[in-house]
Structure 1
Amino acid sequence: MIEEQRNREEVPFWFDPLCPWAWVTSRWLLQVEQVRPVRADWRLMSLADLNLVQRKGEGLSEQYRDLMERAWGPVRVCAAAAEHAGRGILGRLYTAIGTRCHNHRRRDDPTVIAEALAEVGLPDVLSAAADSEEFDQLIRDSHDEAFNEVGLDVGTPVLRIGSTAMFGPVIRRAPRGEAAGRLWDGLVLVAGTEGFFELKRSRDRSVKPYFD
């Protein structure tokens, strides 16, 4: 079993804990781990930094700008947790936060962070990072690692297969079992194609992600 884990391909996956689309894709990647020899390597990106700093807030509605201001909190806490306990804690903390924010629809509940920290055995004092800029550079360094490759005209999720970083896959519902594996296989083929840049299909704005 140890040897099997060691031989798994690391798949860097950049997420913002507040993004519902990244959440669905992350749950798909966990399914892929069950049927293919891969392992998610959870890394941080920040929608707030992307939209408010790098894109300078251009074209944002007042409602979305407010959401981006609130998006700083969860990702800052994740960064503080990684600094405190190592980056290996990110997967469990992401699941704890995401389950509450997305599956339980408690995105605006201020108790979510404290509950998530407690669930994974981290001290509540880390929740103070939500209102601090102390870990912003750590977030930005991780963020830039992805977006220097994929560009600023995309968001999250971003993952890397082999040497190819890409935006997506953006999916409404996470495939399970072998269906998850087949989607992975397709992405591996695309990522391995020299000169590959983009696949895109317009998304109906009324379509919302589905949380199992």
Structure 2
Amino acid sequence: MSIDDIRDVDFWFDPSCPWTWITSRWLVSVAQCRSLSITWHPYSLLFANEGADISQEYRDHLAHGSVWSRLCAGVYEQYPDLLGQCYTRIGQMIHGSEQPAQVAQVVAAIAEVTGDAQVGQRALDGGYDEVLRQQTQAGRALVGTDVGVPIIGFGDRGIFGPVLSPAPTGQQALRLWDAVVNATMIDGFYELKRTRTVPPIFAVPEGQSPQP
């Protein structure tokens, strides 16, 4: 498989993760330029860390943010083709607003996108938790259990990352995509990393805000 062969891309996300949100906006911009089709998959950092040796403070943080993953799992199960649009709305409310997102507002946004006023409440009641577990396991099966999200998959290949702040745009975004794909195609390639020196930066130049 070469870069030119790639048309279908899978993306696993936990909506509560700001780094994943930034990567998703980069991927959407690349998809628009390269005519890629993205299949969106909900992921739960809470479920992924069950039994892990993490602090109670971090576990409580994951539990607090798990509501967003549950909502996305409901959309994935009932309206998979609309999950990208819902994630965009949810991400803008969680990460792109100065005011904290309210559950009722997000449920209303999902109802507006899907036309289903009940899917959000069923998700909040845990009705799609098994779907969320299955999707979390699918992402981990592709890249391993010692990473989180974002996860990008194409064919039988997958990679955690890239972790970005802010998301590159234009030709820089495309060069990064080519580099990520080429690296992932190498069987022995596992990791590149350097220390983060900036917090999540969500802003992109005006007129370049990508939508799925």
- 2:61 corresponding residue in structure 1: 67
Q: Retained in 1: the 8 A contact 2:142–2:156?
A: no
Opposite residue 15 of structure 2, the aligned amino acid is P
What is the root-mean-square deviation of aligned Cα atoms in Å? 1.9
- 2:109 corresponding residue in structure 1: 116
Q: Retained in 2: the 8 A contact 1:28–1:180?
A: yes
Instruction: Tell me how far 1:203 sits from its aligned partner.
Output: 2.4
CA distance in 1 between counterparts of 2:101 and 2:89 reads 15
Instruction: Tell me how far 1:104 sits from its aligned partner.
Output: 0.7
Structure 1 portions without partners, runs of 5+:
1-6
In the superposition, relative to structure 1, how do residues 142 and 187 fare at CA in structure 2: closer, same or farther (>3 Å)? same
> Which of 120, 135, 138 is the matching residue for 2:131?
138
In the superposition, relative to structure 1, how do residues 8 and 119 fare at CA in structure 2: closer, same or farther (>3 Å)? farther
Deviations 1:44-102 (A, max 9, x none): 11011112x252xx22242x2222112221111111122222x1111000001000100
Instruction: Tell me how far 1:130 sits from its aligned partner.
Output: 4.4
- Tell me the SS of whatever aligns to 2:177: helix
In the superposition, relative to structure 1, how do residues 159 and 105 fare at CA in structure 2: closer, same or farther (>3 Å)? farther
In the superposition, relative to structure 1, how do residues 65 and 117 fare at CA in structure 2: closer, same or farther (>3 Å)? same
CA distance in 1 between counterparts of 2:31 and 2:98 reads 26
Q: Retained in 2: the 8 A contact 1:76–1:139?
A: yes
Instruction: Tell me how far 1:132 sits from its aligned partner.
Output: 2.2
Instruction: Tell me how far 1:127 sits from its aligned partner.
Output: 2.4
> Which of 122, 130, 135 is the matching residue for 1:129?
122
Q: Does 1:79 align with 2:73?
A: yes
In the superposition, relative to structure 1, how do residues 133 and 109 fare at CA in structure 2: closer, same or farther (>3 Å)? closer
Structure 2 portions without partners, runs of 5+:
204-212
The TM-score normalised by the length of structure 2 is 0.85
Identity %: 37
The TM-score normalised by the length of structure 1 is 0.85
Deviations 1:107-159 (A, max 9, x none): 45233312321441432322223432321111111111110232222111011
CA distance in 1 between counterparts of 2:114 and 2:131 reads 22
In the superposition, relative to structure 1, how do residues 174 and 120 fare at CA in structure 2: closer, same or farther (>3 Å)? same
Q: How many residues align?
A: 199
Q: Does 1:156 align with 2:154?
A: no
